[in-house]
């Protein structure tokens, strides 16, 4: 996997991820997509991608999260997801887990609410999109994972709900990645 391959695969990924957003009913909320993320299975691939992205943007965060470096790159030219410009890319270095597909993996949407737990975030989501109740209850083929990932210096709680289907993932959280990075300063 290299930078050019990623660029070429973006249109298909953005089309597929947009369909998942619609299926979840999140399209009705007009949420900001603050960043997208990819997966690399080798440190060598991650290093090559980090260098290529740094040539096309600026690394605004290089943080240890769950024992591995995760870079956030603010792009010079945003990626387009429909009408929405995505200015940041998350590049996690590999862990011991091997991903079935390398490349684009998820987008993260911001639901600007004042919550500090995944349960409260889920309640806010269901209040806005009642059909998510069944998804969150495990009644569909969409897997749900709730987590509160935290960088070493983060001061802002950012509970996250991930909706996964067919090697695609849409995550929802209350704060933008840039607000989280600012909280570290």
Residue 166: count of CB within 10 angstroms of its CB: 11
CATH of the domain at 65: 3.10.180.10
Give the residue ranges of DSSP H helices in the chain.
3-24, 43-55, 118-128, 132-136, 177-184
Q: Are 139 and 72 in contact (CB under 8 A)?
A: no
The answer to whether 91 and 38 are in contact (CB under 8 A) is yes
In a structure prediction context, what are the per-residue pLDDT tens digits for the chain, which is 185 residues long? 889 999 999 999 999 999 999 999 999 999 999 999 999 999 999 999 999 999 999 999 998 877 889 999 999 999 999 999 999 999 999 988 888 788 999 999 999 999 989 999 999 999 999 999 999 999 999 999 999 865 555 567 789 999 999 999 999 999 998 888 888 77
Domain count, the chain: 1
How many CA within 13 A on the CB side of residue 149? 19
Give residue 14's domain range. 3-184
């Amino acid at each position: 996997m290299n930078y050019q391959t990623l660029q070429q695969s973006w249109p298909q990924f953005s089309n597929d991820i947009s369909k998942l957003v619609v299926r979840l009913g999140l399209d009705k909320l007009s949420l900001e997509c603050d960043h997208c993320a990819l997966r690399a299975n080798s440190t060598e691939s991650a290093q090559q991608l980090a260098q290529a992205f740094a040539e096309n943007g600026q690394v605004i965060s290089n943080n240890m999260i769950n024992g591995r470096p995760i870079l956030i790159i603010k792009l010079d030219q945003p990626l387009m997801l429909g009408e929405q410009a995505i200015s940041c890319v998350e590049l996690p270095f590999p862990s011991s887990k091997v991903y079935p597909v390398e490349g684009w993996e998820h987008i993260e949407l911001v639901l600007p609410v004042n919550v500090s737990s995944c349960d409260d975030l889920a309640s806010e989501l269901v209040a806005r999109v009642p059909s998510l109740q069944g998804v969150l209850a495990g009644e569909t083929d969409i897997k749900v994972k709730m987590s509160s990932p935290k960088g070493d210096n983060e001061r802002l709680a950012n509970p996250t709900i991930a909706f996964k289907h067919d090697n695609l993932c849409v995550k929802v959280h209350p704060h933008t990645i840039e607000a989280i990075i600012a909280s570290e300063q």
